[in-house]
């Protein structure tokens, strides 16, 4: 397109026609045939730029639907288009390019001959499109000139279309064949097309999977971008369709395609153009998914379950015969859209015909949206019923009813030629003496069978202590092993002692059991490749528990775990058993809820056990998760009852075969134990060990009268426990007492070293205690970082551990705790690592409060890296509590300083940046530093205080602190700190209404910013400074009248935030993207970004950002005619509840605008009065001119004098702030107001867009359309 016509089209969009162009295009995309002239009407003399743009769109769509349109048609209807030679030639060239897509052999001259008057002008286009030889004689003849690609020898054209042209090439450096995909020449200089092309490369390169075509590189030469791809020798499914492959071969290939799509969907990527041409089969039968040119990345926080298909981009994308119903309607699409498209391919391969036959594309779009296809089994009698059912499910009109790609893969696994994953036979189960529980075991077996069929669920085993919850589950697993059923089990147990100290403890333990099982090699492979975050937590680099890199988001951790369990369960079902959920930490409860929501399509059975009373008394977070899962129909409860007298009798038959015990004794046994299985077992053992019950020949009998036996029984369960422990020898009791200090689970090596016992001797003692007394049970063997081998045991019930622990005198308990802590730290090679919380608790009990405080600080860091921010704050507070009353010293001050800084940062994340406790923490840290400047860095304290005062909108203090930060950073010559200081300066300037200073800070920051080096600063300061400067800077650039750069910078900020996977950074980038688009007046974009902000904020409990997103969603609703005022008011109230006053002026302006749109003028004026009151207190001037402008428009029909004064104040304020965009908006409002009152001045205002930022008038900048409401006149 020539420069003149580009300028015309730019003028069209900047003159306010962009919305009209988009609506015209969407009409076509929705399957209608809009009348072009109707979109030119109503604007006086039609804009030439608008006409050119609409003509190109109309021509393209008419040719796509087979309407036979020609450029000449437009010249006849619109003579002004024919008179513009440059525009006419561009349209003729477009006609040729579009027609050639369907007719590659179409000669250029055949088209040009129809336009003799433009022959001379068309000659340059002919040179661009005609054929020529490449590489001398004998070279291949191309349909158009081949591009140049240094380092690659082009060997032939493989294919092409609107999204790119692909060539076979030889990589001269590596000596391999590759495929080069070039952006078509006509699009190579269009920023949007280039960005889409670049996104394709970035998206596909991130999907590392055997069934996805590999991206080697992205290059550019001579103005042409190209992607270097894996060269695949083979044929597409389109080629295979002609030969009707066998159904088993079809199932195998579709299964491989589904497997690739499942990986893409797990990574948040939707292909959107699944079709036979994009599914290529290598000569060895291996399928590859190609062409992610239309792929779209879902928001990070979007769930990939059926109910989460909320793709933010709306429009018609894809190839008509393979579109999903939602694509045909131009509504949001998600992973299930790809499943539908794959279902169409599957149907074609299975039956030899398309499921939605139609005579033309428009009829096919209607059929896809409305018609039900003929069942495939009717067209192919050899098709298995299960395959026909699967295809029908994939073609469901309702996206929620379709299986996921992973489910399709699992369903086809039995037809796949891939080798099954062998599951070694389980060892024979130990002898069990159990009674009752038949109903519960049957329920668990039914749940397992459902999981085997791909209908996973969660089963909650509930009951009081000792009732046999764990035993029931273990016996169920043993039954499966006895039956030879293949399965994998992951076991984790929650810890009462470590519940608030270690996030994800039972999940990590469960994964560890999988890795150490007989099939651990396969599990380890999947964990490393599909869940690298969890793999890193289980096997951190020694001395560097965080591996030097920030952890990914909680969302990604959840998705990784689901992807891992999905792949692991594909060939053998997986059972995850988590015991004692009533002691779980909040992140684990949240993760279990997520697994529960995603297990329905997996071969996964989740089993959790808990005490209901403790769950209810603590108002445990798992309760709400359980209710939600029950509402979804994926969770059931198995409540265990106490044993009845007849079941106690049955137990005696098993434990004491052939007994002749009187019924009075059995009744006494039941009465003393209440039918609690654990204590029935222990009491029978006790009576046998005390020779109350003895063997007489083949029978067990009483050794004396029943009355003596009853009197020998303990009066209570507590007495029974006491008598059982009294049977221990001194050495065993000493060993178990020390173990009890470590909790319900303990390591033999730690206990041995603490007591000075030889490790082998301790292992033998524990083994004997397990065999004779049944008080402990071996869990696993493992190795400490110093290579010491240890055995991990668990008390069979916490009641025994509690009793042993309670028997230790306080002084002895403290001594043992210190010894255990010292031993554990030595086994850890002096690096606390992930054991920091356990060590802190031990030193706390051991009354070494200084060391405990240090370790609570380390544990808080561990929790923060796992995004367990509330747990991190609790750990920091616990460390601070230990320092109360300690003597004042440099060491004490340094410890408190570190903990106060950590606490302040975590509270900002959990409670809001302006929460009062935040100021208390940071002010105390500054007081400590001023008393002893050497105790730690000052910068983090100033940063925390700056953020507090900025969010409180105390801009005076915030400005001073930003200056201190910059001075300190420049003094240290530290680019990272300078970046942070620039961020502080930028946001204060933005709030103060000084976008020019914001732009200066942003550009300085960008020059310094290196994502690899600086994104980890998030953990120290709360956000990535480079992303933050880009996000704030984007808003400032728009205000200054630079909309294109503003949008580009905002996109950069969001993409960098997504790449960095830091929720606190991502939520900031998304929020300010929404703010930018609100200023632009684009409610759809505001809704997209605010919804994404809300998703991240809700997941991570960011109250501050959750409130801000609610405000913006309310405005977006009001701006599109929906009720948004109430939501906006709720958002403002929630914002204030965080203690924040920043941006309230802006928010009240949005509220005024929303109320005005709803016809509530008085309410709108009241909101503006509140904005003025806030501004008087905070001095925040970000949208001061907008407050004046809105008031002027609202008063125009009531009080002309005040209205004029307000509008002039709006222009003057915007001019003084150099906010060119707001100046233009205010000037247009004033010009309309003065149209009848001062025509000359009005004309100047409307023509120039204001008085300019200097003296005299200045021309209007190239701005996109401004969302200016019409004043009521």
What CATH number is associated with residue 1231?
1.25.40.10
Q: Express each pLDDT in 851-899 by its tens digit.
A: 999 999 998 888 887 777 888 888 999 999 999 878 888 888 899 999 9
If you search the block for the tokens 């032939």, which residue do you land on? 156
Q: What's the token pair of residue 406?
A: 């992973």
Q: What are phi and psi of 738, to 5 degrees?
A: -65, -40
Partner residues linked to 459 by β-bridges? 607, 636
Q: Please report the pLDDT score of residue 1209 as a whole number.
A: 93
Decide if 854 is inside a domain: no
DSSP SS3 for 1237:
coil
Averaged pLDDT, 182-211: 76
Say if residue 610 is in the same domain as residue 483. yes
Q: What is the CATH number of the domain that holds 529?
A: 3.40.50.300
Confidence of residue 317 (pLDDT cuts 50, 70, 90): low
Question: Are residues 339 and 256 part of one domain?
Answer: yes
Residues forming beta bridges with residue 605, ordered by sequence position: 457, 575
First and final C-alpha spacing in the chain: 43
| 571-614 tens-digit pLDDT | 689 999 998 888 887 888 888 888 988 888 889 999 999 888 77
Residue numbers in the known binding site are 181
Quick: pLDDT tens for 1217-1242.
Answer: 999 999 999 989 998 998 888 888 88
Quick one: 268 and 380 in the same domain? yes
Taking only the tens place, the pLDDT of each residue in 1077-1086 is: 999 999 999 9
Looking at 684, 713, 742, the residue that finishes a domain is: 713
Q: How far apart are CA 1074 and CA 374, in angstroms?
A: 46
The confidence score (pLDDT) of residue 717 equals 66
Instruction: Using the predicted structure, report yes or no on whether residue 3 has a pLDDT greater than 50.
Output: no
How many other β-carbons are positioned within 10 Å of the β-carbon of residue 417?
11
Per-residue confidence (pLDDT) for residue 298, from 0 to 100: 45
**Is the pLDDT at 1016 greater than 70, yes or no?**
no
Binding residues for ATP: 181
Mean pLDDT of the 465-478 span:
84
How large is the average pLDDT for residues 677-702?
A: 81
> Is residue 1202 in some structural domain?
yes
Higher-pLDDT residue of 380, 186: 380
Mean pLDDT of 780-786: 84
Residues 332, 403: one domain?
A: yes
How far is C-alpha 480 from the geometric centre of its chain's CA atoms?
36
How would residue 11 be classed by pLDDT, with cut points 50, 70 and 90?
very low
Handedness of CA 1073, 1078, 1082, 1084 (dihedral sign): positive
Q: Give phi and psi for 701, each to the nearest 5.
A: -135, 165
Tell me the two tokens of residue 750: 């730690």
Is the model's pLDDT at 134 over the cut of 50?
Answer: no
Which residues have CB under 8 Å from 773's CB, separation 6+?
724, 727, 728, 732
Q: Is residue 28 part of a domain?
A: yes
- pLDDT value for 257: 94
**Residue 1178 in contact with residue 1214, Cβ under 8 Å?**
no
The range of the structural domain enclosing residue 663 comes to: 645-713
Ranking 678-692, 942-956, 1145-1159 by mean pLDDT, the lowest is: 678-692
Please identify which residue in the block is written with the tokens 């007849």: 646
What whole-number percentage of the chain has pLDDT above 90? 23
Q: What is the structure's pLDDT at 1018? A: 54
Strands (E) located in 438-534 = 457-462, 488-493
Do residues 612 and 684 both lie within one domain? no
CA distance 104 to 159: 11
Residue 431 pLDDT > 70: no
List C-alpha distances in Å: 1020 to 597, 689, 940, 959, 1104.
34, 61, 7, 21, 19
Shared-domain flag, residues 228 and 266: yes
Whole-number pLDDT of residue 774: 81
Residue 1213 pLDDT greater than 70, yes or no:
yes
Q: Which pLDDT does position 582 carry in this prediction? A: 84
Question: Cα dist. 117→1, 78, 83, 113, 1211 in Å?
Answer: 19, 16, 11, 9, 51
Residues 270 and 375 reside in one and the same domain: yes
Tell which of 696, 713, 730 closes a domain: 713
Residue 107 pLDDT exceeds 90:
no
Task: Please check whether residue 131 lies inside any domain of the structure.
Answer: no
- Which pLDDT band holds residue 542 (cuts at 50, 70, 90)? very low
**Does pLDDT of 820 surpass 80?**
yes
CA distances from 331 to 28, 299, 327, 644, 893 (A): 14, 16, 6, 60, 59
pLDDT band at 125 (very low <50, low <70, confident <90, very high): low
**Tokens 């603490």 identify what position?**
754
Write the pLDDT tens digit of every residue in 631-643. 888 899 988 888 8
Is 273 in the active site?
A: yes
Q: How far is CA 133 from CA 98, 166, 168, 389, in A?
A: 24, 18, 16, 53
The pLDDT value recorded for residue 618 is 64
Confidence at residue 421, expressed as pLDDT on a 0 to 100 scale: 31
Q: Does residue 507 or residue 519 have the better pLDDT?
A: 507
- Let me know: does 611 contact 464? Beta carbons within 8 Å: yes
**How many other C-beta atoms can be found within 10 angstroms of the C-beta atom of residue 282?**
12
| Greatest pairwise CA separation for the chain in angstroms | 124
Burial call 1216-1243: b when 16+ CB within 10 Å, e when fewer = ebbbbbbbbbbbbbbbbbbeeeeeeebe
- Least confident among 548-552, 923-927, 989-993: 548-552
Query: What would the DSSP string read from start to end of 118-131?
Result: GHHHHHHHHHHHS-
pLDDT tens readout for residues 75-105: 888 888 888 887 888 888 888 877 776 676 7
Residue 839 pLDDT greater than 80, yes or no: yes
Give the closest residue to 260 by CA, choosing from 302, 298, 231, 288: 288
**Model confidence over 293-310: pLDDT tens digits?**
555 544 433 333 333 333
Residues 111-138, mean pLDDT to the nearest whole number: 59
Average of per-residue pLDDT across 1042-1062 = 88
Residue 279 has pLDDT above 80, yes or no: yes
- Is 234 a domain residue? yes
Q: Which one of 273, 309, 409, 585 is the catalytic residue?
A: 273
- The confidence score (pLDDT) of residue 102 equals 67
Between 819 and 149, the more confident residue is 819
- Whether pLDDT at 261 is above 50: yes
Q: Is the same domain home to 377 and 441?
A: no
pLDDT tens digits, 1139-1189: 788 889 999 999 999 999 999 999 999 999 999 998 988 888 888 999 999
452, two tokens = 């085997």
Q: Do 754 and 740 form a contact (C-beta atoms < 8 A)? A: no
Of residues 1273 and 45, more confidence is placed in 45
Taking the C-alpha atoms of residue 461 and residue 463, their distance in angstroms, rounded to an integer, is: 7
- What average pLDDT does this structure show over 1211-1218? 91
Q: From CA 935, how far away is CA 310, in angstroms rounded?
A: 50
Domains: count for the chain: 5
Residue 1252, pLDDT score: 41
In angstroms, the Cα distances linking 31 to 330, 369, 609 are 9, 11, 54
Residues 385 and 512 placed together within one structural domain of the fold: no
* Both structure tokens of 998: 């914001």
- The secondary structure element, H or E, covering residue 790 is strand 789-795
Give the single-character DSSP code of 1254: S
652: nearest Cα among 642, 665, 639? 665
Q: What pLDDT is recorded for position 294?
A: 52
Q: Where is mean pLDDT largest: 63-72, 1041-1050, 1133-1142, 1264-1273?
A: 1041-1050
Distance CA 701, CA 660 (A): 5
Q: Is pLDDT at 338 greater than 90 in this prediction?
A: yes
Task: Please report the pLDDT score of residue 1254 as a whole number.
Answer: 34
Give the three-class secondary structure for 454. coil
- Residue 1060 in any domain: the answer is no
The answer to whether 1041 and 1263 are in contact (CB under 8 A) is yes
Residue with tokens 């495939």: 376
Residue 548: pLDDT band with limits 50, 70, 90: very low
pLDDT score of 369: 87
What CATH number does residue 396 fall under? 1.10.510.10
Q: Check whether 1098 has a pLDDT greater than 90.
A: no
CB 1097 within 8 A of CB 1109: yes
Considering the domain architecture, whether residues 706 and 589 belong to the same structural domain is answered as no
Q: Which of 888, 898, 869, 882 is nearest to 842 (CA)?
A: 882
**Alpha carbons 135 and 330: distance in angstroms, whole number:** 45
Query: Looking at the predicted structure, is the pLDDT value of residue 208 above 80?
Result: no
- Distance between CA atoms of 86 and 1, rounded to whole angstroms? 8
Dist. CA 806–CA 470, nearest whole Å: 24
Q: Are 166 and 160 in contact (CB under 8 A)?
A: yes
In this structure, are residues 689 and 699 in contact, taking their beta carbons and an 8 Å threshold?
no
* C-alpha pair distances (Å), 49 with each of 25, 91, 96: 16, 13, 21
| 931 in a structural domain | no
Structure tokens at 1052: 């950069």
pLDDT tens-digit readout, 27-51: 776 667 888 887 876 544 456 778 8
Using CA atoms, how far apart are residues 1064 and 909, in angstroms rounded to an integer? 8
pLDDT of residue 22: 67
Residue 1214: CA count within 13 A, CB half-sphere: 32
Q: What 3 state SS string does 592-660 have?
A: HHHHHHHCCCCCEEEEEEECHHHHHHCCCHHHHHHHHHHHCCCEEEEECCCCCHHHHHHHHHHHCCCCC
Low-confidence winner among 313-327, 562-576, 786-800 (lowest mean pLDDT): 313-327
Whether residue 167 sits in one domain with residue 244 = yes
Which tokens belong to 943?
A: 């940063």
- What angle do helix axes 869-883 and 890-911 make, rounded to 10 degrees? 150
The pLDDT, as a whole number, for residue 903 is 92
Report if residue 304 sits inside a domain: no
Q: Which residue has the higher pLDDT, 1176 or 319?
A: 1176
Question: Is 460 in the same domain as 477?
Answer: yes
Within 10 angstroms of residue 567's Cβ, the number of other Cβ atoms is: 26
């Amino acid at each position: 397109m020539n420069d003149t016509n580009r300028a015309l089209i730019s003028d069209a969009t900047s003159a306010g026609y962009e919305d009209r162009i988009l609506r015209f295009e969407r009409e076509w995309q929705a399957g209608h045939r809009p009348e072009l002239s109707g979109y030119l009407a109503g604007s006086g003399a039609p804009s030439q730029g608008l006409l050119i743009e609409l003509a190109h769109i109309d021509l393209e769509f008419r040719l796509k639907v087979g309407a036979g349109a020609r450029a000449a048609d437009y010249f006849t209807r619109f003579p002004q288009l024919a008179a513009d030679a440059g525009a006419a030639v561009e349209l003729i060239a477009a006609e040729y390019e579009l027609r050639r897509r369907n007719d590659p052999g179409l000669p250029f001259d055949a088209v040009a001959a129809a336009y003799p008057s433009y022959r001379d002008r068309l000659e340059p286009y002919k040179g661009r499109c005609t054929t020529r030889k490449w590489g001398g004689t004998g070279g291949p003849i191309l349909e158009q000139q081949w591009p140049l690609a240094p380092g690659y020898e082009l060997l032939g054209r493989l294919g092409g279309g609107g999204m790119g042209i692909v060539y076979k090439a030889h990589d001269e450096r590596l000596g391999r064949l590759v495929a080069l995909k070039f952006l078509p020449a006509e699009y190579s200089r269009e920023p949007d097309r280039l960005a889409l092309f670049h996104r394709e490369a970035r998206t596909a390169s991130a999907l590392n999977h055997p069934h996805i075509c590999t991206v080697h590189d992205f290059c550019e030469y001579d103005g042409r971008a190209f992607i270097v791809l894996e060269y695949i020798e083979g044929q597409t499914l389109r080629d295979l369709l002609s030969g009707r492959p066998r159904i088993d071969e079809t199932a195998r290939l579709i299964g491989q395609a589904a497997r690739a799509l499942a990986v893409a969907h797990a990574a948040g990527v939707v292909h959107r153009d699944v079709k036979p041409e994009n599914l290529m089969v290598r000569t060895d039968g291996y399928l590859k998914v190609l062409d992610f040119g239309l792929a779209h990345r879902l928001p990070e926080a979007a769930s990939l379950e059926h109910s989460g298909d909320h793709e933010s981009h709306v429009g018609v994308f894809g190839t008509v015969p393979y579109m999903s119903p939602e694509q045909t309607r131009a509504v949001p699409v998600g992973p299930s859209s790809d499943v539908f498209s794959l279902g169409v391919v599957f149907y074609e391969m299975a039956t030899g015909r398309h499921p939605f036959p139609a005579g033309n594309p428009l009829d096919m779009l209607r059929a896809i949206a409305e018609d039900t296809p003929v069942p495939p089994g009717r067209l192919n009698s050899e098709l298995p019923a299960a395959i026909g059912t699967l295809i029908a499910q994939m073609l469901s009109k309702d996206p929620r009813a379709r299986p996921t790609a992973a489910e399709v893969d699992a369903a086809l696994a039995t037809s796949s030629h891939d080798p099954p994953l062998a599951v070694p036979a389980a060892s024979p189960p130990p002898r069990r003496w159990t009674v009752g529980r038949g109903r519960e075991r049957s329920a668990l077996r039914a749940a397992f069978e459902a999981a085997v069929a791909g209908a996973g669920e969660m089963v909650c085993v509930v009951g009081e202590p000792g009732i046999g919850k764990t035993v029931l589950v273990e016996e169920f697993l043993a039954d499966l092993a006895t039956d030879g059923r293949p399965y994998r089990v992951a076991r984790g147990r929650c810890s009462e002692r470590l519940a608030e100290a270690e996030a994800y403890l039972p999940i990590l333990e469960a994964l560890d059991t999988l890795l150490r099982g007989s099939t651990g090699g396969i599990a380890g492979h999947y964990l490393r490749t599909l869940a690298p975050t969890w793999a890193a937590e289980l096997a951190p680099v020694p001395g560097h528990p965080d591996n030097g890199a920030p952890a990914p988001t909680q969302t990604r951790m959840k998705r990784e775990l689901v992807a891992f369990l999905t792949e692991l369960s594909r060939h053998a079902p997986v059972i995850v058993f988590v015991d004692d959920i009533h002691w779980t930490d909040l992140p684990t409860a949240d993760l279990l809820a997520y697994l529960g929501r995603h297990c329905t399509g997996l071969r996964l059975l989740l089993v959790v056990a808990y005490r209901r009373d403790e769950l209810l008394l603590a108002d445990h977070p798992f309760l709400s998760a359980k209710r939600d899962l029950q509402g979804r129909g994926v969770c059931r409860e198995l409540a265990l009852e106490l044993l009845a007298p007849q079941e106690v009798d049955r137990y005696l038959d098993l434990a004491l075969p052939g007994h002749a015990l009187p019924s009075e004794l059995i009744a006494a046994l039941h009465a003393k134990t209440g039918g609690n299985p654990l204590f029935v077992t222990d009491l029978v053992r006790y009576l046998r060990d005390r020779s109350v019950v003895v063997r007489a020949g083949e029978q067990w009998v009483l050794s004396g009268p029943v009355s003596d036996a009853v009197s020998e029984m303990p009066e209570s369960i507590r007495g029974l426990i006491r008598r059982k422990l009294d049977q221990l020898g001194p050495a065993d009791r000493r060993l178990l007492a020390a173990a009890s200090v470590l909790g319900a689970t303990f390591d033999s090596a730690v206990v041995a070293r603490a007591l000075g016992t030889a490790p082998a001797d301790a292992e033998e003692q524990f083994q004997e205690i397990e065999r004779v007394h049944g008080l402990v049970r071996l869990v696993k063997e493992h190795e400490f970082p110093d290579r010491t081998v240890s055995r991990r045991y668990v008390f069979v019930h916490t009641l025994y551990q509690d009793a042993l622990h309670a028997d230790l005198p306080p002084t002895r308990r403290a001594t043992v705790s210190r010894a255990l802590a010292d031993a554990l730290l030595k086994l850890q090679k002096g690096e606390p690592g992930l054991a920091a919380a356990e060590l802190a608790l031990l030193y706390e009990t051991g009354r070494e409060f200084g060391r405990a405080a240090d370790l609570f600080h380390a544990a808080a860091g561990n929790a923060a890296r796992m995004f367990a921010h509330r747990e991190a704050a609790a750990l920091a507070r616990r460390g601070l509590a230990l320092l109360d009353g300690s003597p004042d010293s440099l060491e004490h001050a340094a410890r408190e300083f570190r903990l106060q800084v950590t606490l302040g940062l975590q509270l900002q994340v959990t409670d809001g940046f302006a929460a009062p406790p935040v100021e208390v923490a940071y002010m105390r840290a500054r007081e400590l530093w001023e008393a002893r400047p050497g105790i730690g860095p000052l910068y983090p304290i100033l940063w925390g205080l700056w953020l507090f005062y900025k969010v409180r909108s105390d801009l005076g203090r915030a400005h001073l602190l930003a200056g201190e930060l910059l001075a300190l950073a420049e003094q240290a010559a530290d680019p990272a700190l300078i970046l942070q200081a620039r961020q502080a300066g930028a946001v204060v300037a933005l709030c103060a209404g000084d976008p020019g200073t914001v732009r200066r800070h942003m550009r300085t920051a960008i020059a310094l910013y290196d994502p690899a080096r600086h994104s980890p600063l998030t953990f120290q300061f709360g956000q990535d400074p480079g992303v933050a400067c880009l996000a704030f800077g984007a808003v400032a650039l728009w205000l200054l009248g630079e909309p294109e750069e503003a949008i580009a910078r905002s996109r950069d900020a969001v993409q960098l935030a997504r790449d960095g996977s830091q929720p606190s950074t991502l939520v900031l980038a998304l929020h300010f993207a929404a703010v930018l688009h609100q200023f632009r007046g684009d409610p759809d974009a505001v809704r997209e970004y605010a919804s994404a902000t809300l998703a991240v904020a809700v997941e991570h409990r960011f109250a501050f950002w959750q409130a801000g997103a609610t405000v913006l969603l309310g405005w977006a609703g009001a701006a599109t005619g929906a009720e948004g005022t109430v939501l906006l008011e709720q958002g403002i109230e929630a914002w204030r509840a965080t203690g924040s006053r920043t941006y309230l002026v802006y928010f009240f302006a949005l509220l005024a605008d929303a109320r005005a749109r709803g016809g509530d003028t008085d309410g709108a004026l009241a909101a503006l009065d509140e904005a003025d009151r806030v501004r008087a207190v905070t001095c925040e001037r970000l949208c001061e001119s907008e407050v004046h402008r809105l008031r002027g428009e609202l008063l125009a029909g009531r009080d002309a004098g005040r209205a004029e004064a307000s509008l002039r104040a709006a222009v003057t304020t915007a001019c003084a702030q150099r906010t060119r965009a707001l100046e233009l908006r205010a000037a247009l409002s004033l010009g309309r107001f003065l149209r009848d009152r001062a025509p000359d001045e009005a004309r100047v205002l409307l023509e120039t867009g204001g008085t300019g930022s200097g003296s005299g008038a200045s021309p209007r900048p190239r701005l996109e359309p401004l969302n200016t409401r019409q004043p009521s006149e």
